[in-house]
Structure 1
Amino acid sequence: MKHPAFVIGLTAGLLATGLAFFSSAGAEDRHLQDPPARVATAVFAGGCFWCVEADFDKVEGVIETVSGYTGGTVEKPTYKQVTRGDTGHYEAVKVTYDPSKVTYDELASYFIRHIDPTDAKGQFCDKGSSYRSAIFVSGQGERQSAETTLTDAGQQLGKKVATQILPAATFWPAEDYHQDYYIRSAVKYDFYRSACGRDARLEELWGKAGKGA
């Protein structure tokens, strides 16, 4: 048996080494870094929330994206209820971001160039009330930003913009299988996105710089 003092010293040394290792490893992992001093959220509806989530996850400064439903009248709606079109909900994505790295204006501009803002019936191959596009705003600052974004889009495209600006409402996260769908079911997602013509239409509208893939 080792002397108690030796065991205590050894244990303390190993603990210190372990903490140093994990501290060093964590510095390289986005999810283990210290959280930013301030975070903010924004909610956008742009048709299929799988695609909107995938697009926003590419933006520097975005911390988290969650697919869900908002703007409707039913509490805790299901995917089947929403896609049936009688709850008033939109498929939407809640974006949590670091304002020191990306601004709301930049997110709104990015969003509008990754959808078809001229389509009043839905987005790409998905038609129906739940697939319409909208920016859900909290406060006058976000509203003004959204209005400027839509005005600029209309002028650039030379067409009437159908994307709505709506007041923020309760956001209900979608079922677990919808979250990170583009990662969990990459093959199915890629086939859907291609078959739906999303990126082809984005390139037609905005050029290659606006292509969402």
Structure 2
Amino acid sequence: MSKEETAIFAGGCFWCMVKPFDTMPGIKKVISGYTGGHTVNPTYEQVASHTTGHTEAVEIVFDPDVISYEQLVEIYWQQTDPTDAMGQFQDRGDSYRPVIFVKNEQQKKVAEASKKRLEDSGKFDKPIVTKIEPAKPFYPAEDYHQDFYKKNPLRYQIEEAGGRDKFIKDHWSK
């Protein structure tokens, strides 16, 4: 019987955060949703109003015997601009801020060590501002937001073209 753990990451629009994880071995599911706010079970419209305190995020259910939390954090960094605290690419505001939401002390240690390595690498000219915060309740988004890249490939490509794809190629390609 395989193990299950969860990780929660925010990096702009949750639509763009699903595919990079969804295609990795050991990933059981990736759920788009909302976390970090004060409204119970918010709707997309409520979160988009910037009044609930929530951030769009993905909850990743994974088998730690196949893919580690540390590997997930490394994949996460490579989907974001860790120097932009007020959103990601064309998605602006608190609901799009980059955050690693940690569920326990081990995740916190891994995330902090990874962030420190990135800071020390000199890869970016600006400070690394991605937050590491304790996980709060995660609320799955409406069904039409789930697996968006599969259901709406054309709209997903337009979303990626908003600067994310170019930034990733320019900064994270090996």
- TM-score (norm. length: structure 2): 0.95
Structure 1 residues 37-76: aligned runs within 5 Å? 37-76=2-41
Q: How does 1:148-187 map to 2 (within 5 A)?
A: 148-156=113-121, 157-158=123-124, 159-187=126-154
Code of the residue aligned with 2:168 in structure 1: it is: L
1:101 aligns to what? 66
> Which structure has more RCO (C-alpha within 8 Å, separation ≥ 6)?
2
Which stretches of structure 1, 4 residues or more, deviate above 3 A after TM superposition?
A: none
Q: Which residue number in structure 2 is paired with residue 189 of structure 1?
A: 156
Aligned residues: 172
SS class of match (2:74): helix
Per-residue deviation, residues 192-212 of structure 1 (Å, max 9, x unmatched): 211x11110112222x24xxx
Residue-by-residue CA offset, 1:102-148 (whole Å, 9 max, x unaligned): 00011011101111110011001111000000011111110010101
Query: Is residue 2:164 matched to residue 1:201?
Result: no
| Letter aligned with residue 18 of structure 2 | E
DSSP-derived class of the 1:68 partner: strand
Q: Which runs of 5+ in 2 are unaligned?
A: none
Higher helix share: 1
1:79-90 paired onto structure 2 within 5 Å = 79-90=44-55
Computing the radius of gyration from Cα coordinates, the structure with the larger value is 1
Gaps of 5+ in 1: 1-35
SS of the counterpart of 1:118? coil
1:169-193 CA distances to partner (integer Å, 9 max, x unpaired)?
Answer: 1000000000001000111111221
Instruction: State the distance in 1 between where 2:14 and 2:5 align.
Output: 20
What corresponds to 2:85 in structure 1? 120
The CA distance in 1 between the partners of 2:2 and 2:19, in whole Å, is 25
Distance (whole Å) between structure 2 residues aligned to residue 149 and residue 113 of structure 1: 12
Aligned-partner residue type, residue 156 of structure 2: Y
**Rounded Cα–Cα distance in structure 2 between residues aligned with 1:180 and 1:37:** 23
Q: Match for 1:103: what amino acid? A: S
Q: Greater shift after overlay, 69-78 or 56-65?
A: 56-65
Task: Supply the distance in 1 between the matched residues of 2:24 and 2:110 (Cα, whole angstroms).
Answer: 18
Q: How much is the aligned-residue C-alpha RMSD, in angstroms?
A: 1.1
1:147 aligns with 2:112: yes
Deviation at 1:162, TM superposition (A): 1.0
